[in-house]
Amino acid sequence: MAAFDSTSRLLDIDEKDGKKGSQQNPNLIRNMTYGILAFIVACIIIGLSVSLSLLLNKGPQNLASQSSVQVLTDNIAAIEEQLELSANHTEQFKQDFDRLQVHLRHSSSTALKNILIDQERNIQNMLTILNASMRDLAIDIPEGEDWYKNYGAQLSKVQRLSMQREELLRLLQTGEAELSTK
């Protein structure tokens, strides 16, 4: 029976606790609900405060990124300034180039080249006339044919050299002589 008594006591204790638990249960549930709500509100407040502090924090990382952004901005401004300077220089070079081309067209060196070419043509015409005159004279003079062959060969050589000079002057005028000598 002793065993029966101990079990009944246990059952009595369990029944008493069950009745007490059912009375305390609404308080416990209400306290538990308030506790969970307080915990959730505390988590939200802590999360918001951490987020805001990170956003508003001007720590070394933000200062470093701001300084690197400032350096990049300065570099971009310097590059833009250099590009503008280069554009101005390019425009100036174009204007100088156009002026030099006009000057070259009206240059005295070009005119001098034209004069030299005309002189060579005149020399060639004079040599042709001289050659024809020598032929006529060789017919009238006894033994003039030998004289004409001797001086005619020299005259032909001079005429050929004059033609070569004229050709070189023409090449020099177009700029091809400079390319062919290099």
Q: How far apart are CA 141 and CA 134, in angstroms?
A: 10
What digits encode the pLDDT tens for the residues 18-71?
A: 555 555 677 888 888 999 999 999 999 999 988 888 777 765 565 667 788 888
pTM of model > 0.75: no
The answer to whether the CB of 155 falls within 8 A of the CB of 131 is: yes
Q: Are 155 and 127 in contact (CB under 8 A)?
A: yes
Let me know: does 159 contact 127? Beta carbons within 8 Å: yes
d(CA 139, CA 34): 146
